[in-house]
């Protein structure tokens, strides 16, 4: 199903009405209180009159040339119960005895998903029903920020600082730590956060808890970009939407440390763009067994243009992102002294475009912001991805427009599965929880199922698939 989101200009009558407000008398406190009471009453009635409709998830993939996977027949892992975090008891892997290499079988990717991913493929279960409280994409998006410190999603990370070749550093936040669970055979899922985010973000902690609890029992590691996640910036270089060298360095390092451990990855928003671009650049050289990109902007230029043209995009979203970037920049401003950047001018940038013009494109050597956006886009790299990849996007995402999704490239590549929902906002997908007053993320179900379905598998390539 395709959805069309129209751009609605602000009528002139709104501007005229705004000018007339200055001539109205200031209401008394009693009148103001009554007006607010009526307003909240109308909102309450609107809320209960709206029953969110269920969204059937739409799946796009290559049906004419399906990918074939080699799947080992392994005995189930033995687990032992240990300490738990607040929301639920978790279980951890016990080291397995030495056993002979098990036999394997083959299965196409669509059949594998049909067998292991009901939240993606089962029509009765591949459904997202938005919470009654969050009935549109803007509310779903706002909830992601408001739930930054949502109770019940606490994670006690163990931080590891990784030095980079140029003198910079990234912070890796592990859960569970190797002190808590020393078994190095536990599958690892690497998580990449969004713009100016970190391991503290709600969506990151939600996935960490989901993948480390039953039935998966994985080990999660969050890669905090340079200067993110409350880490120090050591060199006058931050990160960008298209800079993949840090991710490449970290993954190569993890592979050297754990050569026999299953490794998968998940990226959100800007992190999703970086991950997909990296996968395309590496092509068949990547050792990840599977990857997930959630809320990927894909085409940075088109997504930026659409966002800036929209009313809420230009008035709210781009300004919030600009404010977050400037705040992150000022937190490390002493590092940029003598770097050639005008620190004061960057701090005074009024829009996201201005920040990228004064800061990002100069830092990474681009002539214009347009050149930077084009180069940073992951959409041209989708066709080169050679790792099973799930792309999950919402068609009402107010930040990463559905118009930027490369539908045909996703369908043509047998390694890529694209899943879309009509609603969900940007990284939201909140559904009703245990009762009507609670909400919980829905997206963890299809993401967790996909990651687990690919764990331990290998791709059986053919000439057509290798192109």
Query: Which residue among the candidates 119, 131, 231, 269 is catalytic per the annotation?
Result: 269
Are 117 and 453 in contact, with CB atoms under 8 Å apart? yes
| Cα–chain center distance at 391 | 10
Distance CA 7, CA 43 (A): 24
Is 269 a residue of the active site? yes
Evaluate the CA torsion angle 367, 271, 115, 104 in order and state its sign.
Answer: positive
| Cα–chain center distance at 333 | 27
> What share of residues in the chain are helix, strand, coil (percent, to 5)?
40, 15, 45
Residue ranges in 385-424 assigned as alpha helix (H):
407-412
Query: Which residue among the candidates 93, 193, 423, 426 is catalytic per the annotation?
Result: 426
**Strand stretches in 19-153, DSSP E:** 55-56, 58-60, 68-72, 79-81, 91-93, 104-108, 127-128
CA distances from 225 to 80, 271, 288, 410 (A): 34, 9, 20, 27
Query: Which residue among the candidates 379, 397, 404, 409 is catalytic per the annotation?
Result: 397
Is 396 a residue of the active site? no
Residue 170 structure tokens: 């990234």
Are 306 and 280 in contact, with CB atoms under 8 Å apart? no
Is 260 a residue of the active site? no
For 84-106, give the DSSP string: -BTTB--EEEPPPPP-PPPPEEE
Q: Which are the catalytic amino acids?
A: 269, 397, 426
């Amino acid at each position: 199903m395709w959805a069309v989101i129209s751009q609605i200009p602000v009528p002139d009558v709104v501007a005229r009405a705004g000018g007339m407000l200055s001539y109205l008398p200031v209401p008394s406190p009693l009148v103001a209180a009554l007006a607010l009471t009526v307003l909240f009453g109308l909102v309450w009635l609107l809320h209960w009159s709206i029953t969110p409709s269920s969204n059937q998830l739409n799946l796009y993939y290559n049906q004419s040339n399906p990918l074939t996977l080699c799947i080992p027949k392994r005995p189930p892992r033995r687990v032992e119960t240990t300490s738990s975090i607040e929301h639920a008891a978790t279980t951890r892997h016990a080291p397995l005895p030495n056993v002979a290499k098990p036999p394997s079988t083959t299965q196409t990717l669509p059949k594998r998903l049909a067998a292991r991913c009901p939240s993606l493929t089962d029509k009765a279960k591949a459904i997202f029903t938005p919470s009654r409280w969050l009935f549109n994409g803007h509310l779903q998006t706002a909830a992601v920020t408001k739930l930054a410190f949502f109770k019940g999603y606490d994670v006690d990370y163990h931080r590891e600082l990784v030095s980079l070749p140029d003198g910079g550093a990234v912070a890796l936040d592990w859960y569970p730590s190797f002190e808590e669970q020393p078994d190095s055979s536990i599958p690892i899922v690497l998580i990449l956060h969004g713009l100016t985010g970190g391991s503290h973000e709600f969506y990151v902690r939600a996935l960490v808890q989901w993948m480390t609890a039953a039935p998966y029992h994985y080990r999660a590691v969050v890669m905090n970009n340079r200067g993110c996640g409350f880490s120090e910036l050591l060199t006058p270089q931050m990160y960008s939407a298209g800079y993949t060298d840090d991710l490449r360095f970290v993954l190569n390092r993890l592979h050297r440390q754990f050569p026999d451990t299953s490794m998968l990855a998940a990226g959100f928003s800007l992190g999703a763009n970086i991950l997909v671009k990296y996968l395309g650049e590496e092509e068949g050289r990547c050792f990840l067994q599977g990857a997930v990109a959630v809320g990927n902007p894909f085409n940075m230029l088109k997504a930026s243009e659409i966002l800036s043209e929209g009313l809420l995009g230009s008035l709210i979203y781009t300004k919030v992102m600009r404010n977050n970037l400037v705040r992150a920049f000022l937190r490390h401003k002493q590092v940029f002294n003598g770097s050639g950047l005008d620190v004061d001018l960057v701090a005074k940038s009024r829009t996201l475009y201005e920040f990228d013009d004064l800061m990002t494109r100069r830092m990474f050597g681009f002539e214009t912001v347009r050149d930077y956006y084009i180069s940073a886009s992951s959409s041209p790299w989708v066709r080169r991805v050679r790792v099973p990849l799930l792309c999950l996007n919402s068609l009402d995402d107010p930040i990463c427009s559905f118009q930027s999704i490369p539908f045909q490239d996703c369908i043509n590549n047998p390694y890529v599965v694209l899943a879309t929902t009509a609603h969900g906002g940007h990284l939201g997908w909140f559904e009703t929880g245990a009762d009507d007053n609670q909400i919980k993320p829905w997206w963890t179900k299809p993401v967790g199922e996909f990651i687990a379905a690919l764990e331990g598998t290998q791709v059986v390539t053919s000439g057509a698939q290798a192109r």
